[in-house]
Amino acid sequence: MIRFDQVTKLYSGNTRPALNSVTLEILRGEFVFLVGASGSGKSSFLRLVLKEESPSKGQIHVLGQNLSRLTSRKVPYFRRNLGVVFQDFRLLPQKSVFDNVAFSLQVIGKSKGFIQEAVPDVLKMVGLAGKTGRLPHELSGGEQQRVAIARAIVNKPSILLADEPTGNLDPTTSAGIMTLLNRISAGGTTVIMATHDAGIVDQMKRRVVELVSGQIVRDERQGGYQTQALPVQQQAPPPTSSGFGVGR
Amino acid sequence: MRFGLVLSEVGQGLRRNASMVVSIVLVTFISLTFVGAAILLQLQINQMKGYWYDRAQVAVYLCTEYVEGGNCNEIEATTEQKANIEQQLEAPPLAPLISQYDFEDHDQAFARYQEQFGTEATGFVTPDFLPETFWVNLKDPSQSDVLVERLSSVAGVDEVVDQRKYLQPIFDALNAASFTAIGIAGLMLIAAVLLIATTIRLSAFSRRRELGIMRLVGASNRFIQTPFVLEGVVAALIGSALASGAIVAIVHFFVQGYLNATPSATPFVDIGDAFIVVPILIVGGAGLAAVSAAVAIRRYLRV
């Protein structure tokens, strides 16, 4: 589904890579948490999957396509298979709930009939059936995030990327969002979620990938926010043989 | 469905940037009017060249007893000399260049003089005062130099004059006017292109949320680009339509209505010529706007 092969991402003007030789495979239908401190490379990972960025080194395959071979003209069509949700919802403030979701279908050329059927369905699924005519500012944060999720999944993508979707929400609302994401995952969609929310990760018991300074330090099935397993000890480099003339 | 969506986006963009759109309309209007005027001037020059060069002749003036300098020395050209000149006109290398020639004697020249200047001006002039002349029509008017070179030094010839040289200053003036118009049009067009690019960037910036979401959900580049390009094209089209109207009005009211009404033999451009210019302005204006808008919006399409 998603395969990273020795992927390094260097941003210009920064000597420290955002991702450093990351190798990772995510299978169809998996639910994966990406955890790590701010700046550890979680967002870069998601941006690379979306092909908003290209890797400096290494190969990325998503949905059987080698992203480095994807021409920029084909990127939009590739993205139609991916749904994305952000911490800040990114809804259009002057459009109603229905129109926000419909917009994402209109701009990829779906027919009016399809939109009239698909949008109410997906709004019902995320639990907003009675609020289709509201404007985003009339909704609570949790409801706004549900609209964003509805927009991301209305086209039935195979992969859902969520960048700290509960970052702006209180614990109870977050739990509701997680139930929703769980349901989406149960439907066969691969979900990758970057988060700082330890409670959620511990509760869900799903695959956890931890990044520190752009490197994967843990990849654990049914893991928690902090590892329960023994920490991996990195072997100390062997002492250099002492001698003259080799020291720097 | 999609077409309607694109059009509503265009309408929104035009309304949101109304003042910028008005300035695009005005700048394209003025610049394209200058372009049209320059084209009309060139058409006018070509028309006048065609008209006058057909009529412009090379005059071979012969000596009279009143001419002092050159080959003449106050001696009237003799019959032998005239025969010699005529023989030169009939034989190579001159004959192939000449389509026809006429000989004008003193009396004919006097008659023509009277016709041109009226009888009261002819009191001091007698027929023998006016030179006898060979009027030569060339197949190619630009080859008059050969004739001038060949005949100038022949005995009995006072002077060989290509009448085209009297027209050249007029054409030079018209050409200068035309190039000035093109220069102004060029500067204005640069301003128009930059203005369109700025307006489109502004429009894109005010819609950056939508653009971000469009890119995220996989709207194709063409779909994202089209409303912006159309926005520029619509504004420029209004400008070119106004410019076309101005050009047609100039030809109709000024050239046909005013210049043509004054007595003169010169042919002027007509409405038919104006309608040659109109499609050039429309297509040129729209094309220029489309290109500059497409270039301006490209930054927002980078994936």
Distance, in angstroms, between A238 CA and closest chain B CA? 45
Tokens linked to B262: 């004054």
Percent of chain B with pLDDT over 90: 15
DSSP one-letter string for A1-67: -EEEEEEEE--TT-SS-SEEEEEEEE-TT-EEEEE-STTSSHHHHHHHHTTSS--SEEEEEETTEEG
Contact A79 B218 (CB under 8 A): yes
> Cα-flanking dihedrals φ and ψ of residue A24, to 5°?
-160, 145
Please give the pLDDT value at position B221: 86
Contact B221 A76 (CB under 8 A): yes
Residue type, B78: T
Contact A106 B1 (CB under 8 A): yes
Provide the 3-class DSSP secondary structure of residue B52.
Answer: helix
How far is it, in rounded angstroms, from Cα A145 to Cα A128? Answer: 11
Average pLDDT over residues B212-220: 89
DSSP one-letter string for B189-206: HHHHHHHHHHHHHHHHHH
Average pLDDT over residues B248-266: 80
pLDDT(A244) > 60 = no
Average pLDDT over residues B285-295: 92
pLDDT digits (tens, 9 = 90+) for B103-116: 888 888 888 777 77
How far is it, in rounded angstroms, from Cα B73 to Cα B134? Answer: 20
Contact A90 B212 (CB under 8 A): yes
Name which of B2, B210, B216 is nearest A79 (Cβ-Cβ). Answer: B216
pLDDT digits (tens, 9 = 90+) for A72-95: 889 999 999 999 999 999 999 999
> Cα-flanking dihedrals φ and ψ of residue A156, to 5°?
50, 60
Beta bridge partners of A211: A216
Judge contact between A106 and B2, C-beta under 8 A. yes
Distance, in angstroms, between B2 CA and closest chain A CA? 6
Distance, in angstroms, between B221 CA and closest chain A CA? 7
Where residue A228 falls among pLDDT bands split at 50, 70, 90?
low
Beta-carbon pairs below 8 A across chains A and B: 61
Tokens linked to A214: 């752009």
Contact A79 B215 (CB under 8 A): yes
Contact A109 B209 (CB under 8 A): no
Q: List for chain A the helix, strand, coil content (%; round to 5).
A: 35, 25, 45
Buried b / exposed e across B99-121, counting CB within 10 Å, b at 16+?
eebeebebeebbeebeeeeeeee
Contact A51 B221 (CB under 8 A): no
| B→A interface, C-beta within 8 Å | 1-2, 5, 209-210, 212-221, 223-224, 302-303
Average pLDDT over residues A145-164: 94
pLDDT digits (tens, 9 = 90+) for B144-158: 777 787 777 777 788
DSSP H or E run through B161: strand B157-162
How far is it, in rounded angstroms, from Cα B5 to Cα B33? Answer: 34
Mutate to test the interface with A, among B8, B217, B220 (most CBs of A within 10 A): B217
Contact B1 A111 (CB under 8 A): yes
pLDDT(B121) > 70 = no
Judge contact between B243 and B285, C-beta under 8 A. yes
Q: Which of A82-86, A120-124, B177-181, B237-241 has the lowest mean pLDDT?
A: B177-181
Name which of A77, A106, A111 is nearest B218 (Cβ-Cβ). Answer: A77
Name which of B1, B210, B218 is nearest A76 (Cβ-Cβ). Answer: B218
How far is it, in rounded angstroms, from Cα A210 to Cα A218? Answer: 5
List Cα–Cα distances, B38 to B32, B173, B189, B247, B249, in angstroms.
10, 13, 14, 11, 15
Please give the pLDDT value at position B156: 77
| A→B interface, C-beta within 8 Å | 50-52, 72-73, 75-80, 82, 84, 90, 92-93, 103-104, 106-109, 111-112, 151, 155
For B227, the closest chain A residue by CA position comes to A107
How far is it, in rounded angstroms, from Cα A8 to Cα B123? Answer: 104
Name which of A51, A52, A73 is nearest B221 (Cβ-Cβ). Answer: A73
Please give the pLDDT value at position A246: 42
pLDDT(B34) > 50 = yes
Q: Which of A105-109, A160-164, B137-141 has the lowest mean pLDDT?
A: B137-141
pTM of model > 0.80: no
With contacts defined as CB-CB under 8 Å, which chain A residues touch B302? 72
All structural domains of chain B: 2-53+168-302 (no CATH), 57-162 (3.30.70.3040)
Name which of A50, A76, A92 is nearest B219 (Cβ-Cβ). Answer: A76
Where residue A240 falls among pLDDT bands split at 50, 70, 90?
low
Give, in degrees to the nearest 5, the angle at Cα B46 between B42 and B52.
140
Distance, in angstroms, between A52 CA and closest chain B CA? 6
Distance, in angstroms, between B300 CA and closest chain A CA? 13
Radius of gyration of chain B (CA): 31
How far is it, in rounded angstroms, from Cα B40 to Cα B178? Answer: 8
For residue A182, the Cα-to-chain-centroid distance in whole angstroms is: 14
Closest by CA to A184, choosing from A222, A157, A207, A205, is: A157
Where residue B87 falls among pLDDT bands split at 50, 70, 90?
confident
Mutate to test the interface with B, among A49, A107, A108, A163 (most CBs of B within 10 A): A107
Tokens linked to B154: 């022949």
Q: Which of A186-200, B21-35, B38-52, B259-273 has the lowest mean pLDDT?
A: B259-273
How far is it, in rounded angstroms, from Cα A104 to Cα A108? Answer: 7
Contact A80 B2 (CB under 8 A): no
Residue A166: other Cβ atoms inside 10 A: 25
Please give the pLDDT value at position B286: 93
